[in-house]
A = this chain, B = another copy of it.
């Protein structure tokens, strides 16, 4: 049990533990969710001699897999970047983390629904499927919002050298994610569901290029230019 040297320790030594086990547990969940996504890619049913076309015809399943693999992969990167800046866990933060994991393990469900449905090319069903995916995607971002909100209101839980603005910037990123998944859902139900699928593949790229935090990017960019 890691006890800090400030005046809070004897109250906190029971309720607060280091972050290591939470990271390891979350890593396992991310890893399993990622692998499970691929398990849902099944050999397609086909007429004898027609496997090649059957494989090509299920391209929406590959695109859905890719969108979700990238999403979970990038969530893992964010988790990693965030936890290097956290010094202490408490029960509230463990619950906020469990919220993130809840939507992470759920990702394979809308992915499978979307993969199944987009192959059948029924417009009403396709719209329902992309709306479901957008909903889970937005709730995933919202769970990060809760996590960062909890952290920003408890600055003593962060590492000392992390600027206050860092977690505020992270909240902005999470809000942008919620908004973009909602936009994708609306576009997908109002217009072409395949547009939503394209956005779902593209969105993790936004999170990927900003995976060290919006602030850090700008800062790192400045330093690179200064060199």
Q: How far is the CA of A91 from the CA of B211 in the complex (A)?
A: 8
Number of copies: 4
Q: Say yes or no for A34: interface residue by CB 8 A criterion.
A: yes
A181 to chain B, nearest CB (A): 18
Q: Is the CB of B35 within 8 A of A105?
A: yes
On chain A, the number of residues with a Cβ less than 8 Å from chain B's Cβ atoms is 69
A125 to chain B, nearest CB (A): 4
Q: Of all chain B residues, which has the CB nearest A48?
A: B122
Q: Is the CB of B51 within 8 A of A109?
A: no
| B-contacting 9-mer, from A21-29, A145-153, A167-175, A195-203 | A21-29
- Chain B residues with CB under 8 A of A219: 14
Q: How far is the CA of A14 from the CA of B81 in the complex (A)?
A: 9
Q: How far is the CA of A17 from the CA of B216 in the complex (A)?
A: 14
Q: Is the CB of A43 within 8 A of B94?
A: no
- Chain B residues with CB under 8 A of A30: 25
- Chain B residues with CB under 8 A of A31: 25, 28-29, 32
Which residues of A from 94 to 134 have beta carbons under 8 Å from B? 94-95, 98, 101-102, 105-106, 108-109, 112-113, 116-117, 120, 122, 124-125, 128-129, 132
Q: What are 26 contact pairs spanning A and B, CB under 8 A? A: A11-B220, A11-B223, A14-B212, A14-B220, A15-B216, A15-B220, A17-B84, A22-B80, A25-B76, A27-B28, A28-B32, A29-B34, A32-B32, A38-B106, A38-B108, A39-B39, A39-B108, A49-B122, A49-B124, A50-B125, A51-B128, A55-B113, A55-B128, A69-B105, A77-B91, A95-B208
